Every structure is written in C-alpha cells, then in structure tokens.
Amino acid sequence: MDTNPDHDPAKIVHVPPGGGHSFWVFGDLDIIKTTAKDTGGEMTFVETVVPPRSGPPLHIHERESESIYVLDGEVRILANGLDYTIPTGGFTYMPKNSVHRFENTLETPSRILLIFLPSGIEGYFTELGVEKVEGVPSPGGKPDWDLLDRVAPKYGLDIVERQAPGDPS
C-alpha cells in the first residue's frame, strides 16, 4: 500500500477545456482555473483575455509572485524599471513586491495565463468582477477606482498608479 501523502489521487486537480469560473474584471475576461481550495494554498491559475490596448494599472503584490505566459497575442511588461514585450509563447516571472503592469499592445484581444504563487488572489477577481453569463457581453472596461481602493488592500495589492493602459483619465 502506498502511504505517501503526495500520491493521494484526491489532491489531483483537473480542469477540462472551457472549465473554471469566469469573471469580467474591468473589461478583461478572467477565467479562474485553480484556487487556494483546489491546490492547498499553493497556486492560483487564471486564463485571461485582455482587450486591445488594455491591462491593469501599475501595482505591487505583497503576498505572491506573478508569472505571465502569452498564449496568443502580445503584452508589454513594465516591471521594476524594465520595459519589454512578450509575444505568443513568451513568459515572464515577477517576484512578490515587484512594481509592475502589463498591457495588450495589439488591436485584437490577447490571451494570457496568469500564475500566482502562493494562491489566495482569486478573491480579488471575484470581488472586483462580474460573473460571466453566456450570451451577455462584457459590462465594459473602465476601472471602478473606488471599488478597487476597497478591494485591493484586502488581497495585499498596492495600486501605485491610478491610470490603467488605454484609460485616458
């Protein structure tokens, strides 16, 4: 009998294509694939569709690192004074306490994977977002700064700049 707790089949997480919980967050479609509950607190994994010329404001994660893998399209990264673009197949890792943001530089949506280690950030998406309902379009893309100011600190996020890419305000 195998008594290694790492071999427990109940700990395996499988998300089929199209699976996860989908939320519109300021125009992005965030599909949460894994949560703290799923992974024992180890990882949050999110597939995100980023509209053209869009992305989050400059921010800092005090609790987790963030990695981005581009499935389709390209995103510009500003992180700790660096400025670079990652195309389809590109990857970046930003440790916790990094000052960063990303922006879809194209005129078409980009699809990315966001990996957060450890998990826990998923509540940020669910509190800020509007659950996606099949056949109902995105409610829009402008940040609700008052809501962001209330929710971000609960998840260890510091919003450094009150302007998101593509936001003229």
* 109 Cβ contact partners less than 8 Å away, ≥ 6 residues apart: 49, 50, 51, 52, 73
Position of tokens 């949560």?
A: 35
For 7-36, the pLDDT digits (tens) are 777 788 999 999 999 999 988 999 999 999
Q: What is the pLDDT of residue 140?
A: 75
Q: Which residue has the tokens 């309902």?
A: 133
Question: What residues of the chain score a pLDDT lower than 70?
Answer: 1-3, 5, 164, 166-169
Cα distances from 156 to residues 24, 30, 59, 64, 129, in angstroms, run: 21, 19, 10, 9, 17
The pTM score is: 0.90
pLDDT at 32: 97
User: What do you get for the CA distance between the two ends of the chain, in Å?
Assistant: 63
The neighbour count for residue 127, using CB atoms within 10 Å, is 15
- Give the chain's domains with CATH numbers: 19-159 (2.60.120.10)
Contact 55, 104 (CB under 8 A): yes
Tokens of 137: 């379009």
What is the C-alpha separation between 154 and 13, in angstroms, rounded?
27
Alpha-carbon distances of 164 from 34, 52, 55, 101, rounded to whole Å: 26, 13, 6, 9
What pLDDT sits at residue 168? 57
Q: Which amino acid is at 61?
A: H
The pLDDT score that the predictor gives to residue 164 is 67
pLDDT confidence of residue 138: 79
Whole-number Å distance between alpha carbons of 104 and 140: 16
CA 132 to CA 47: how far, in whole Å?
14
